[in-house]
Amino acid sequence: MNILKTLYGLAVIVSILLGFFIGYGHPVFPWHEVPSCDAIFGGLGALILLLLVKAVGVLVRRKEGFYE
């Protein structure tokens, strides 16, 4: 499991770094001019979804022995 986390972290770092070297040929939107904007936006979106799911889990969790 630790190796998977390391590989995932390495893939994220490589993806962000590649965004600085490989840009859009013809940017359509203004945010495409910012290096690695899509990678950072995707990472932050995933983090927000994760936190949202954890918050909903806390709100809908039943007390222990609820079904007894």
Residue 55 CA: distances (Å) to CA of 46, 59, 65: 14, 6, 21
Tell me the pTM: 0.67
Q: What angle do CA 10, 40, 24 make, to 5 degrees?
A: 100
Q: What angle do CA 4, 55, 66 make, to 5 degrees?
A: 105
pLDDT by position in tens, the chain (length 68): 799 989 988 988 898 888 888 877 788 888 888 888 888 888 899 999 999 999 998 888 878 877 77
Residue 7 CA: distances (Å) to CA of 2, 21, 40, 47: 9, 21, 18, 18
Return the residue matching tokens 């600085």: 20
How confident is the model at residue 49, as a pLDDT?
96
